[in-house]
Homo-oligomer: A and B are copies of this chain.
Amino acid sequence: MRFEVIKKGSHRKERAAILTLPRGPVETPVFMPVGTLGMVKTLTPHEVKDLGYHLILSNTYHLYLRPGLDVLKAFGGLHNLNRWDRNILTDSGGYQVFSLSKLTKILKEGVLLRSHIDGSKHLFTPQKVLEIQGIIGSEIMMPIDVCTAPKVTVEEAISAHDHTLQWAGESKVYFEEHLGQTGSTLFAITQGNFYFDVRKMSIESLVEMNFKGYAIGGVSVGEEKTLTREIIDFSTDYLPEEKPRYLMGVGKPSDLIRGVEMGIDMFDSVYPTRVARNATVFTRNGSLILRNQSNQLSSMPIEEACSCYTCKTFSRAYLRHLFKTGELLGLKLATLHNLHFIKVLMDDIRKAILEDRYGSFVKEMAPLLD
Contacts and interface: CB of A to CB of B under 8 A. Distances in A.
Q: Is the interface of A mostly helix, strand, loop or mixed?
A: helix
A75 B328 contact: no
B83 A321 contact: no
Chain A interface size band reads 35 or more
Contacts of A333: 44
Interface string A281-324: 00000000000000011010000000001000111011011101
B297 A83 contact: no
Contact of A325 (B66, B74, B329): B66
Contacts of A42: 328-329, 332
Contacts of A67: 296, 317-318, 320-321, 324
Nearest to A37: B325
B43 A329 contact: yes
A182 interface: no
Contacts of A309: 44
A71 B328 contact: no
Contact of A299 (B44, B75, B321): B75
Contacts of A315: 75, 81
Contacts of A75: 299, 315, 317
A38 interface: yes
A109 interface: no
B329 A39 contact: yes
Across the A-B interface, the 9 shortest Cβ-Cβ residue pairs = A67-B321, A74-B297, A42-B328, A81-B318, A37-B325, A66-B325, A83-B313, A328-B328, A71-B317
